[in-house]
Structure 1
Amino acid sequence: MRTHIVEIQIQSRYYPIYIKIGGIDMINLLRFLRLFCILILMGLTILQPSPKPVMADVTIAVNTTTDELNNDGDCSLREAVRASITNSVVDACPAGSSSDTDEIVLPAGVYTLTITGASENDSQTGDLDLSGKMKLVGAGRDTTIVQGGAGWDDRIFQVYYQVAGGTDVTFEKMTIQNGQTPNNENGGGIHVFGTSNPDDVLINLKEVRLQNNRAIGDDPSNGTGGGLGITNAPTITILDSLIQNNSARRGGGVFVAKAEIKRSVFTGNQANAGSALYIVQNQPALIENTTISGNGIGSDYSPQNYVIYSDFGPTVTIRYSTIASNNTASNFGGVYLGTGQIILQGTILSGNAINSNCANFSSPITSNGYNLSSDSSCNTYLNQSSDLNGTDALLNPLGFYGKTLPHHPPKPGSPAVTSPGSSCPAEDQLGTVRPASSCTRGAVQNALALLYLPVVTK
């Protein structure tokens, strides 16, 4: 039998290692080499550093609708918030994380706040004070409701800037209602404290209903942001949400600076200025695929009003939205621009106030085309060849029409239907695809444009 001498050199990190084996036949040589390779691979696996464990977000499941802060063995919404902001166990709620996002889960139910005591900032009494990275997720805006109870004298939520790591708070799939600011403060439903840097505080509303909140206290001349109000300049994102029946002196629906609002509805809100939205500061704001309808003046306010009020230098872009049937007591019921800039594209302005869809005293309103105004007040500003002025949009009344959010569908024969060449969003307010060749002006795509498609027959 023929034998072989095997000599192996392994170059380690510090010095070479020699292995010399003599007098081995071919079969045993192959067995040896296979075993040797297995041992080497095992050694490499053992010597590799252990992977760093991935930290999961903390989930805090609320299991009672009672507003309480005690040690009775359950987890209320107030206790869950306390567990998150203190990063400690509170009653049966697990401790929140100091570095990751805490997700507070709210099953279907009505969560009525009853522990009164405004102007306290640790969620022990009054409103629920949030900071850090946090998500509050309900089961749906029709089934998870967070509200102020009888005699409630505070807003529902207040969000603060957390210096370490910033603040990023999301409200999702819930209704927030019946908030009332104390001492004529801001933000009836939600109040957000920001900084001069919009990236320090991020607030997200997804599939949320903000309704019946007031930021006027006992004095209608004060208070901003009936549904949502800000201090300084946090970044606000509102998606697929309904802002209705809120009131404030300024910004009945919302009072915001840097903002992105898409596929949402503002209706029934009231204010002295900016009944739906009041947009301020030198920050960009985008309103897209959004219906703004039925907002106006209330009995608490003096007879002047603007549905969208832009002031103190923002650049507001309104794309493929419908601003219609807003009722005010002044001549300026649609879009008002104090300082800054408003850019309109693919937007319908119809039947707002007394002969006035547009009002501008000191700054430009710019058209990017494909807009429609039912009166002549926008003639100076809607000056592109694709714009339509003094034209009835032929809209149906505001309603749900079997969908999840109210809207104004165009009637058959509406001039808003089919705007070839327009650069519109891929979907409309309801999530319906907008065909590039037949894009409808306003917040919703014309249903007929989708139904009557070419049919190929043999």
Structure 2
Amino acid sequence: MRIALILLALSLSTGADAATINVTTTDDTIAADGQCSLREAITAANTDAAFNGCPAGSGVDQILLAAEDYRLEITGAGEDANASGDLDIRSSLEILGAGADLTRIRGDREDRVLDVGGAGTIATVAGALIRNGAGTLGAGILVAADSSLLLDGCVLTGNATSKGDSGAAGGGIASLGMLTVVDSTFHANDAGTGGGIWTGGAGSTTLRNVTFDSNTSLASGAALSLNAAATLNNLTLSLNLSDNDFNGTGDGALEVNAPVQISNSIVAGNVDFSIIVAGPVNNDCAVGPAGTLTSAGYNLFGVLGNACVLSAAQPGDQGGTPGAPLDPRLQPFDIYGGTVEVFLPMASSPAVEAGSPAASGNPGACEPADARGVLRPQGARCDIGAAELDDLVYRDGFDPPLP
């Protein structure tokens, strides 16, 4: 139902001259066979011309995917005309799947999955899982400096930059442009820096209701390496691993090298493997000389201190110390309804009913619904993090059963 509402909202926002392109085959083909592949659909949208079995694009086209696996099998990394390797998006469009649990776009582990470029290109990807991408910059998705991407209700998993290259960045996404991610999950992506997301350039990033689990980095930013301005609300970062080559160089699930504002978010339970060689340990976050991590209130950090410095801390912020980390008490990473995996808080979690009391739409407020579409608040106040505990039966101190 939620994905259907997303598709309806996106369709209403699309201009009347836009085309709808239905992908009719899961094969990665360029052939006059009467079928419309995902690659061919993107070319039709890029060129505003009919291409093999796909109708002509027109305006901000909608490309519709079924509940299927779409595997990229035409090899040839480094090509930018959408003829091989990754899917090259060069015109504003929307790729709409049936849900991240149903629609899967798989790379070939030789090139990234999506390359969003072209002056003024505005792309939306909704309701899809993106996996098995590879590349030095943006293994899953690359967003160029002159482009924008909205990722809604998606999962990025199993994407990895060049192994052993500490300079390779953005396992899930590398963005030099404008990036917005909502109601999505990054799981088990890997990079030299920024295992989940790496940002840079003059663009900006907005993340809302996003979960980062088991992402890894050789250096810093196992989940997020933010090198351009960003706004973060209702995030959960847990069990991400930095400095995974154990050489003492690398810090934190969250690396901040730009002005970043954070609110209603959990950054806890992450691991910095610098501890193996007795280097400086910053498990949860590291703020560089060019960065500021400013609180807009109601955050939960497992460890504050060392390089993890929260500016303008608010009364609603919670944080442990290097000697006494704060346990967020999260249930296992899983699907608890909805289409993306999350960390649901236990009833005894310090995140429960500890989010902002501000009404939805006001500065610093929680998102009106969580990453699964569960309305906030379920109790007296919203919960910190990407997922709202919605099993009210167990809010008396007994934890819900594990999945």
User: How large is the Cα RMSD of the aligned pairs?
Assistant: 2.7
Aligned-residue offset at 1:317: 1.4
Matches within 5 A, 1:55-94: 55-94=16-55
Q: Alignment partner for residue 223 of structure 2, among 268, 272, 276? A: 276
Letter in 1 for 2:287: L
- Unpaired runs of at least 5, structure 2: 1-14, 275-280, 359-364, 397-403
CA distance in structure 1 between the partners assigned to 2:393 and 2:314 by the alignment? 25
**Residues 174-225 of structure 1 deviation map (CA, whole Å, 9 limit, x = unaligned):** 11110111xxx20001111114xxxxx2201011111111122x54223110
Cα 1:308/1:420, change in 2 over 3 Å: closer
Aligned to 1:434: 377
Q: 2:171 matched to 1:226? A: yes
**1:192 is matched with which residue?**
143
Is the CA contact 2:268–2:326 (under 8 Å) kept in the aligned structure 1?
Answer: no
Equivalent in the alignment of 1:318: 262
1:154 corresponds to which residue?
Answer: 111
Asked if 1:119 is matched to 2:78, the reply is yes
Confirm or deny: 8 A CA contact 1:212 1:244 kept in the other structure: yes
Determine helix, strand or coil for the equivalent of 1:82.
helix
Mapping of residues 264-413 of structure 1, within 5 Å: 264-271=210-217, 272-281=219-228, 283=229, 285-297=230-242, 299-300=244-245, 302-303=247-248, 304-311=250-257, 314-330=258-274, 331-338=281-288, 339-344=290-295, 345-350=297-302, 356-360=303-307, 365-375=311-321, 392-402=327-337, 404-413=339-348
Q: Could you tell me which runs of 5 or more consecutive residues in structure 1 were left unpaired when the two chains were aligned.
A: 1-53, 196-200, 351-355, 378-388, 454-458
| Contact 2:18–2:62, Cα closer than 8 Å, also in 1 | yes
Q: Are residues 450 and 439 of structure 1, via their aligned partners in 2, closer, same or farther at CA, if it must alter by over 3 Å? A: farther
Deviation at 1:402, TM superposition (A): 4.4
Scaled by the length of structure 2, what TM-score is found?
A: 0.81
C-alpha separation in 1, matches of 2:206 and 2:166: 28
Equivalent position to 1:143, from 77, 102, 106? 102
SS in structure 2 at match of 1:111:
strand
Distance, in Å, in 2 between the alignment partners of 1:106 and 1:444 is 27
Q: Secondary structure at the match of 2:156?
A: strand
| Distance (whole Å) between structure 2 residues aligned to residue 224 and residue 310 of structure 1 | 14
For residues 180 and 293 of structure 1, what CA distance do their matches in structure 2 show? Answer: 24
Deviation sequence 1:288-310 (CA, Å, 0-9, x none): 11211111037556443311001
Residue aligning to 1:248? 191
Which structure carries more relative contact order (alpha carbon 8 Å, separation 6+)? Answer: 2
Is 409-418 or 71-80 further displaced after alignment? 409-418
How many angstroms does 1:413 deviate by? 4.4
Alpha-carbon distance between aligned partners in 2 of 1:450 and 1:161, rounded to the nearest angstrom:
51
Give the direction of change, closer, same or farther, for the CA distance of 1:287–1:359 in structure 2 (3 Å limit). Answer: farther
Q: Is the 8 A contact 1:399 1:408 kept in 2?
A: yes
Find the partner of 1:263 among 205, 209, 225: 209
Deviations 1:340-383 (A, max 9, x none): 31122211122xxxxx444438x862213311113268xxxxxx
CA distance in 1, matches of 2:338, 2:63: 28
Whole-Å separation in 2 of the counterparts to 1:140 and 1:407:
15
The aligned residue for residue 237 of structure 1 is: 180
**Normalising by the residue count of structure 1, what TM-score does the alignment of the two structures yield?**
0.72
Q: Could you give the per-residue CA deviations for residues 128-176 of structure 1, whole angstroms, max 9, x where no partner exists?
A: 1102211111111122111123xx41111111123xxx11001111111
Change (3 A) 1:178 1:448: closer
1:215 aligns with 2:161: yes
Give yes or no for contact 1:288–1:321 (8 Å, CA) kept in 2.
yes
Q: Which residue of 2 aligns with 1:110?
A: 69
Instruction: Give the equivalent residue in structure 2 for 1:30.
Output: none
State, as a whole percentage, how many aligned pairs show the same letter.
29
Inter-partner Cα distance in structure 2 for 1:391 and 1:300 = 26
Q: Which has the larger radius of gyration?
A: 1
- How has the CA–CA distance of structure 1 residues 112 and 448 changed in structure 2, closer, same or farther, with 3 Å as cutoff? closer
Matched, 1:175 2:129: yes
The whole-number CA distance in structure 1 between the counterparts of 2:67 and 2:341 is: 23
Matched residues, number: 361
